Amino acid sequence: MRSDDGAVAIVMALMMVLIIVVAAFALDLTRIYAARQRVQNALDAAATAGAAMLPNVASAATAAALYARLNDPTIVPVVHLYCVIGSTGATMQLNTNQIPYTCDPRPAGSTIVPSTMTTSTIPGTSCNQAICAVPCDTGVSCNTIKVAGSETVPFYFAPIIGVRSGSTGSVVSAACSGACGSVILNPMDVVVVADRTGSMSSNVTNLANAIAGMLKTMTPSQQFVSLATIDRSSATKVSGCPSYTAPSTDPTLGPWIPIPFSNDYTGATTGSTSLLDQGLNPSTCFKVSSGTMGTYLATPLKLAAYYLLNPTSIPNPLLPTSTYASMAAARDMTPRKVIILETDGQPNEQGSSVVPTNAPIDTTEVGNSNSAQACTNFQNIASVAKSQGIMIVTVAFGSATSASTKCGTQIVANVLASVASNAPNGSPSTVPFDSSGKCNTAVANTDGDYFFCTTNGADLAPIFVTAFGQIAAKTRIVALP
């Protein structure tokens, strides 16, 4: 019996050692799991920060690496860029109809026609039934960034058996910018209201290029765009301009909305067959107005709002029959309705219309030669439009950025900010003036609301791109195939 007791004691001692070892390993494994989650959180933040910089691939990679290290200094991040587009489903091929303009999935210098691309013609492509991920050269536009990393975790108990540390293993996070895949979550109807009156004469080309640049960040199949102009556009086509966006020479004739909703734009103002693209060509169509008609704000805003609320209507009898219904049939979500309005000055209108606070959004044109009343008309129309679900973004340019530019007692910049929709956090859009009485562009264009400003024509391009990106809330984490 005594020998049996001894054997039991030995077994129990061995079991206790085993239990202690297992418990020790369990504690160390818990540290591994905790570290892995910490790395995942850091990489999610890094990927999201990088995606916000796309399609600028260099800035995206820099931002991703920086945010990874800020969130976890032990990580050595590895960054890769991809073009993610829709898949054809069961056949798991590239859906070439889903390529957004923020992304070119072809290798740099490739002459492959996008519509003929397959997984075999683009090496390294991987697909599932929802999306395809194409490795993206730094020389082309990319819409998705992947950040990978790992962490070595020191053990507390395992060193007693010679195991001093463990690894989280490779952790990956990917985030996309804009349309990334076969289901696009941001359908929109957007009317751009562009001021090309006489005071914009030296910046009309910058304005046209800014709008065209914004189009390149959009997805035509889901985001339809219409163009309205201040002043009117031509009632007849002019030589060399296939659209009606050339300026009118008559203050009473011609459309305010010369281009209906379009889903065939490319953002190229030359070489495109899209009426929107062609209408933005500053050499042939999108030219400065004669300066005899004045800067109307209330009427183009009102007609833009009416068109958004009644998108199957024809905004101008000269335009072809609306194709909005057939275009919209491909979208399976209700679109957000957006107006982006740019102007460089106080209203200078003809007429004596007074718009009440509850005025209906219809096609009746308004105008008032009293600039104070003109601004009030503008604000009242905006208030009704916003109450009906329309988001308004305003861009103050040139003299409209100065606190000395007024309509009555109101500062025009403040009027434009009041017309803009509230920021995503619910606070009103505001104008941050600097000590010289100018709109502080560094603050206004990065504060997260829907009012923007600049006195520099070259800055219009990034402002329009920033404005659309802010509307779209466009970055999201994705699982790559």
Q: Kindly report, residue by residue over 203-254, the tens digit of the pLDDT.
A: 999 999 989 888 877 888 888 999 999 989 988 888 888 888 888 888 888 8
**Residue pLDDT, tens place only, 322-367:** 688 888 887 877 899 999 999 998 899 999 999 999 999 999 999 9
- Per the structure, the complete domain to which residue 241 belongs is given by 188-474
Whether residues 197 and 345 fall in one domain: yes
Among the candidates 119, 151, 177, a domain finishes at 177
Q: Which residues are CB-contacts of 30 (< 8 A; sequence separation ≥ 6)? A: none
- Taking residues 38-67, report their average pLDDT: 86
Q: How many folded domains does the chain comprise?
A: 2
Asked whether residue 270 is assigned to any structural domain, the reply reads yes
- Return d(Cα 462, Cα 453) in angstroms, integer: 11
- Residue 292 has what pLDDT? 65
Model confidence, pTM: 0.69
Asked whether residue 328 is assigned to any structural domain, the reply reads yes
- Taking residues 188-194, report their average pLDDT: 95
Whether residues 192 and 172 fall in one domain: no
- Taking residues 171-178, report their average pLDDT: 85
If you average pLDDT over each of 20-34, 129-143, 435-449, 455-469, which comes out highest? 435-449
Q: Which residues are CB-contacts of 182 (< 8 A; sequence separation ≥ 6)? A: 86, 87, 89, 95, 98, 130, 131
Asked whether residue 183 is assigned to any structural domain, the reply reads no
Asked whether residue 416 is assigned to any structural domain, the reply reads yes
Between the alpha carbon of residue 236 and those of residues 243, 295, 296, 303, the distances in Å are 9, 21, 21, 20
Asked whether residue 182 is assigned to any structural domain, the reply reads no
Whether residues 195 and 76 fall in one domain: no
CATH number of 324's domain? 3.40.50.410
Among the candidates 120, 142, 177, a domain finishes at 177
Whether residues 168 and 270 fall in one domain: no
Asked whether residue 481 is assigned to any structural domain, the reply reads no
Among the candidates 177, 202, 217, a domain finishes at 177
Whether residues 192 and 173 fall in one domain: no
CA angle 191, 49, 265 (to 5 degrees): 25
pLDDT band at residue 160, thresholds of 50, 70 and 90? low
Whether residues 238 and 166 fall in one domain: no
Whether residues 110 and 204 fall in one domain: no
If you average pLDDT over each of 87-96, 126-135, 175-184, 427-436, which comes out highest? 427-436
Whether residues 209 and 161 fall in one domain: no
Between the alpha carbon of residue 382 and those of residues 68, 188, 200, 386, 405, the distances in Å are 42, 19, 23, 6, 20
pLDDT band at residue 158, thresholds of 50, 70 and 90? low
Tally of residues, the chain = 481
Whether residues 238 and 114 fall in one domain: no
- Residue 362 has what pLDDT? 93
